[in-house]
Amino acid sequence: MLKKKNYKFWFCTGSQDLYGDECLAHVAEHSRIIVGKLNESGLLPYEVVWKPTLITNELIRRTFNEANTDEECAGVITWMHTFSPAKSWIIGLQEYRKPLLHLHTQFNEEIPYDSIDMDFMNENQSAHGDREYGHIVTRMGIERKVVVGHWADEEVQKRIASWMRTAVGIIESSHIRVMRVADNMRNVAVTEGDKVEAQLKFGWEVDTYPVNEIAECVDSVSQSDTMALVDEYYEKYDILLEGRDPEEFKRHVAVQAQIELGFERFLEEKNYHAIVTHFGDLGALKQLPGLAIQRLMQKGYGFGAEGDWKVAAMVRLMKIMTEGMKDAKGTSMLEDYTYNFVKGKEGILQAHMLEICPSIAEGPISIKCQPLSMGDREDPARLVFTSKEGKGIATSLIDLGNRFRLIINDVNCKKNEKPMPKLPVATNFWEPEPNLYTGAEAWILAGGAHHTAFTYDLTAEQMGDWANAMGIEAVYIDKNTNIRDFKKDLMLGDIFYK
Ligand code: MN
């Protein structure tokens, strides 16, 4: 279902016709070399496409408009090799609507001390040409990323790569379609939100279907298709009967297999990329979708529990942004469940009733079938595992009534100190930055939710840049957070984002 689009990024070099043909030939040659080497680096997730040097208002305008209409173009990388008078960029930038990266680099790494003369100076003017260009972009109030450094430096290439993923998130955000087969849980505040405003800001389409329509689709999945998927489960996962009759256990698992196939067909048929369910609104479904939802999340679908469509869309967004990433460690919805307040071992046990994506798992994944203390259905089958160690980010998108805020917390995921044999759900365990006490205090002051969209594979910078591109506030809780400054950040946000 995750059909990877063949996105590309255009590399546009700025100059002017003041320098003569020979100089412009060098400019073109240099930018071709840079584009070639960037593509050869193996570090960029998407291809960079060289474009002819931009030297006039007309060409700049035409190129930006072509970028707008080219479906494969996910953004433009600009660089001023020489001086390019920035008024020539105004009309093009005014009309441009896609992500913009300003690569502030220069062709040569070192000052050529022995040979440098005025010809060289005229030809290599990034240091001031890029300032002229940067000025107009700032004056026009255009959101863009600035990356500084020599183009052959691996760190610079990695920053370009990182921005490319943000850019694809920005482009793809407007194609996210969330299916609600249940409303938000009664009386819950933080999972609510303004769906019209979400579409205006993020482009998300959030639609409702009666749960029994999807239940009918589940019901129509054949026995043979269902049992073939059950066989796949039994091959792939450990089966933990825990005293249950093997046949009865398998029948419970088959219910989830049928839900997985039925849900996926329904989502595909209607072109949705994320889904929410609610344990209290299951219609004709025999079990709360557990294993089924876990598998769909691993396939790239977004998910939010108890009708939480904002988390569903955020999980989908993160799945898009991390797509095809080598050595990706995973992305999932999670929920803050229980604290460990023991000194030196502080952290938050992350779990949910059932629905944690196995992409974050480490070690064996088992199927268990256990009663659910909530709802009134059969004991649902679910995948149980523990998660990887390492750094990640937990995000919460909240609706403050007049606007959205994205809260981003750097977290350190750790191994569970001890096994929890009686806990029949998947878990993660993390300590938020800068520590549990300040991290949780800041999260609560910011109004962060109990559900989060979590990933190991993106950075706070990437998600913050996405939020800025959407025109919403991003607040960061990280190793530098202290409460006094954090409260000031929130106050400034209140003024700025009114
Ligand atoms: Mn929940």
What is the signed CA dihedral for 310, 312, 315, 319, rounded to 10 degrees? -130
How close is the Cα of 279 to the center of ligand 1, in Å?
10
How close is the Cα of 324 to the center of ligand 1, in Å?
29
How close is the Cα of 464 to the center of ligand 1, in Å?
24
Phi and psi at residue 64, in whole multiples of 5°? -65, -35
C-alpha 306/C-alpha 309 separation (Å) is: 9
Q: Chain-centre distance of CA 222, in angstroms?
A: 35
Which residues lie closer than 8 Å to 32 by C-beta, 6 or more apart? 50
How close is the Cα of 337 to the center of ligand 1, in Å?
9
C-alpha 471/C-alpha 222 separation (Å) is: 46
Tokens coding 321: 């942004």
**Strand, coil or helix: what is 54?**
strand
Number of C-beta neighbours around residue 238 at 10 A? 13
If pLDDT is split at 50, 70 and 90, which confidence band does 1 have?
A: low
How close is the Cα of 445 to the center of ligand 1, in Å?
20
Number of C-beta neighbours around residue 179 at 10 A? 25
How close is the Cα of 188 to the center of ligand 1, in Å?
10
How close is the Cα of 47 to the center of ligand 1, in Å?
39
Give the residue-averaged pLDDT of 27-53: 97
Look at residue 382 and tell me whether its pLDDT is greater than 90. yes
Tell me what percent of the residues of the chain surpass a pLDDT of 90.
94
How close is the Cα of 370 to the center of ligand 1, in Å?
18
Give the residue-averaged pLDDT of 138-144: 97
C-alpha 142/C-alpha 64 separation (Å) is: 14
- Predicted TM-score (pTM) of this structure: 0.96
How close is the Cα of 285 to the center of ligand 1, in Å?
19
How close is the Cα of 231 to the center of ligand 1, in Å?
30
Total residues found in the chain within this entry: 498
Closest of 486, 452, 492, 487 to residue 473, by C-alpha? 492
C-alpha 403/C-alpha 259 separation (Å) is: 36
How close is the Cα of 335 to the center of ligand 1, in Å?
6
pLDDT attached to residue 376:
75
Query: For 245, which DSSP code?
Result: -
How close is the Cα of 333 to the center of ligand 1, in Å?
9
Using an 8 Å Cβ cutoff, are 12 and 32 in contact? no
pLDDT attached to residue 2:
59
Which residues lie closer than 8 Å to 316 by C-beta, 6 or more apart? 176, 178, 273, 274, 300, 301, 302
If pLDDT is split at 50, 70 and 90, which confidence band does 17 have?
A: confident
Using an 8 Å Cβ cutoff, are 472 and 396 in contact? no
C-alpha 486/C-alpha 416 separation (Å) is: 30
Strand-pair partners of 454 = 332, 394
How close is the Cα of 251 to the center of ligand 1, in Å?
26
How close is the Cα of 418 to the center of ligand 1, in Å?
24
How close is the Cα of 171 to the center of ligand 1, in Å?
29
How close is the Cα of 189 to the center of ligand 1, in Å?
12
pLDDT attached to residue 498:
81
Give the model confidence (pLDDT) of 403-423 as tens digits: 999 999 999 999 999 999 999
How close is the Cα of 263 to the center of ligand 1, in Å?
20
How close is the Cα of 332 to the center of ligand 1, in Å?
13
Look at residue 235 and tell me whether its pLDDT is greater than 80. yes
Give the residue-averaged pLDDT of 266-284: 96
